[in-house]
């Protein structure tokens, strides 16, 4: 991978249509044979709907577990702790899954994860109502998180591999930037509507229905994701022999860790905002509308994420992170002082402007900075950071809102937004230092 010391020169260049940092850092992998010029042809048209639906169970897990435990055991505190156990499982085993993918390829690893996760979800749906101790329930929740296939980061890794090996070099930077924009928009949609689906299934059918539904979706669509022909196209970029694969310590350098901190902060923000917003709407006697209001942020975020592909190359990646995280902080400040629904809607709309483009930027930098042969590992670490942040902040804010009320709980999304801004500022310093060297 090209050195980041050329970043400032790359940022000043106007040859690349989009994403100068990406153009500077993309590995110069060569391909053979006839090359398609568009990602949709290289990956296959059916790939995108399959990958989109396959990521829904991951977005449903944390909220589904929380909803089921509260309904079955009658304890919000236990529900929060159980959700945190899901996040812990993902945090500890998610990167291991990524390392296995980098060594063996996606097909076998994802298939095993899909089967294991389906069984774990069904076991959790049974255990919630069964006469088993809370500790056993926490153990099953840990398995749910540990076996999560994490389609979202693996989709990013797969598409990055296809771009690097199957497309002409002249279109790689622009295609990668557009792909990160699409992937972030897709994440926004599923992370917003995942909780909505959970709520609809739980209220119209049974509290266990979201978890059972997630198990069925995992078995069908994640398996389809594993067997899709695109997994073969990307395998050359993802299965590297031990001699060519960069050591794991390369992922622990500051330029990579600051990106993990950024996505962790976004996870904190997602979980804290949804939970605090639910508490806020409960205090104004309209709790059933919390999901609708949350959608205001998600829809705007998805639109801006897609628009990120059209940003000028002069608007550098590190500058985008700072600008849009400031919008995130501004939205969180208004939300923390909101006392009426219209003000909260304004806060969510402003925050949504910052969410999508910030995620696009961070994931784009993850793709660009990933050491050789570590694509799936890096992406799953980032994906795990989001779910860990979401689960832990949901648990914390749930307890805080129950004890101290919504106004105090709404300070937590602001703290999370400040973490994202701090990570962006740190990234600016690190990239400037690298460029100087």
- Among residues 324, 373, 293, 393, which one has the least CA distance to residue 63? 393
Whether 154 and 237 have beta carbons less than 8 Å apart is answered as no
Q: What is the DSSP letter of 219?
A: I
Whether the pLDDT of residue 6 is over 80: the answer is no
Whether 214 and 60 have beta carbons less than 8 Å apart is answered as yes
pLDDT tens digits for 81-110?
Answer: 887 888 888 888 888 888 888 788 888 888
Mean pLDDT for 420-432 is 89
**Burial code of 61-89, b = ≥16 C-beta within 10 A, e = fewer?**
bbbbbbbbbbebbeebebbbbbbbbbbbb
Q: Is 294 helix (H, G, I), strand (E, B) or coil?
A: helix
Whether the pLDDT of residue 423 is over 60: the answer is yes
Whether 374 and 245 have beta carbons less than 8 Å apart is answered as yes
Q: According to the model, what pLDDT value does residue 355 have?
A: 87
Whole-number average pLDDT of the chain: 79
Q: According to the model, what pLDDT value does residue 309 have?
A: 66
Q: According to the model, what pLDDT value does residue 207 have?
A: 84
**Is 402 or 308 the better-scoring residue by pLDDT?**
402
Q: How many CB atoms lie within 10 A of CB 182?
A: 22
Q: Can you spell out the DSSP letters for 228-240?
A: STHHHHTHHHH--
Whether the pLDDT of residue 357 is over 50: the answer is yes
Tokens of 67: 């909803």
Whether 48 and 376 have beta carbons less than 8 Å apart is answered as no
Please tell me the distance from the alpha carbon of residue 223 to that of residue 112, in angstroms, as a whole number. Answer: 9
If pLDDT is split at 50, 70 and 90, which confidence band does 18 have?
very low
Q: Could you give the residue ranges of the DSSP H alpha helices within 76-105? A: 76-104
pLDDT tens digits for 138-165?
Answer: 999 999 989 988 888 888 878 888 887 7
**Is 14 or 393 the better-scoring residue by pLDDT?**
393
Q: According to the model, what pLDDT value does residue 287 have?
A: 63
Catalogue all structural domains in the chain, each as residue range(s) with its CATH number.
17-25+44-436 (1.20.1250.20)
pLDDT tens digits for 192-240?
Answer: 677 778 877 877 888 888 899 999 999 999 999 988 887 765 554 444 5
If pLDDT is split at 50, 70 and 90, which confidence band does 32 have?
very low
Please tell me the distance from the alpha carbon of residue 221 to that of residue 239, in angstroms, as a whole number. Answer: 23
């Amino acid at each position: 991978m090209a050195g980041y010391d050329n970043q400032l020169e790359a940022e000043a260049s106007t040859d690349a249509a989009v994403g100068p940092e990406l153009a500077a850092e993309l590995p110069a992998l060569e391909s053979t044979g006839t090359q398609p010029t568009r990602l949709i042809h290289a990956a296959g048209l059916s790939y995108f709907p399959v990958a989109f639906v396959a990521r829904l169970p991951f977005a449903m897990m944390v909220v589904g577990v929380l909803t089921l435990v509260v309904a079955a055991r009658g304890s919000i505190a236990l529900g929060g702790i159980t959700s945190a156990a899901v996040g812990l499982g993902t945090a500890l085993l998610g990167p291991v899954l990524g390392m296995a993918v980098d060594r063996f390829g996606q097909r076998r690893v994802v298939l095993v994860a899909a089967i294991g996760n389906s069984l774990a979800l069904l076991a959790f749906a049974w255990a919630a109502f069964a006469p088993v101790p809370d500790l056993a329930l926490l153990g099953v929740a840990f398995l749910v998180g540990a076996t999560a296939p994490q389609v979202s980061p693996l989709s990013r890794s797969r598409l990055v591999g296809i771009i690097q090996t199957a497309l002409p070099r002249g279109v790689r930077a622009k295609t990668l930037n557009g792909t990160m924009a699409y992937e972030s928009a897709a994440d926004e949609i599923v992370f917003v509507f995942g909780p909505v689906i959970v709520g609809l299934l739980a209220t119209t059918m049974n509290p266990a229905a979201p978890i059972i539904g997630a198990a069925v979706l995992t078995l069908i669509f994640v398996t389809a994701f594993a067997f899709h022909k695109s997994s073969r196209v990307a395998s050359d970029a993802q299965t590297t022999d031990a001699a060519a694969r960069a050591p794991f310590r390369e992922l622990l350098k500051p330029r990579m860790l600051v990106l993990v901190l950024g996505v962790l902060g976004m996870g904190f923000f997602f979980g804290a905002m949804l939970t605090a917003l639910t508490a806020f709407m409960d205090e104004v006697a309209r709790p059933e509308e919390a999901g609708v209001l949350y959608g205001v942020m998600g829809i705007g975020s998805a639109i801006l994420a897609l628009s990120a592909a059209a940003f000028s190359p002069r608007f550098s990646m590190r500058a985008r992170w700072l600008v849009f995280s400031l919008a995130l902080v501004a939205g969180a400040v208004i939300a923390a002082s909101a006392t009426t629904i219209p003000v909260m809607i304004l806060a969510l709309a402003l925050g949504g402007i910052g969410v999508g483009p910030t995620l696009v930027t961070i994931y784009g930098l993850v793709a660009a900075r990933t050491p050789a042969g570590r694509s799936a590992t890096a992406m799953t670490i980032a994906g795990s950071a989001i779910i860990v942040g979401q689960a832990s902040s949901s648990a914390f804010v749930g307890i805080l809102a129950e004890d101290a009320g919504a106004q105090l709980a709404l300070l937590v999304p602001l703290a999370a937004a400040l973490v994202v801004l701090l990570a962006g500022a740190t990234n600016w310093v690190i990239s400037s230092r690298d460029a100087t060297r």
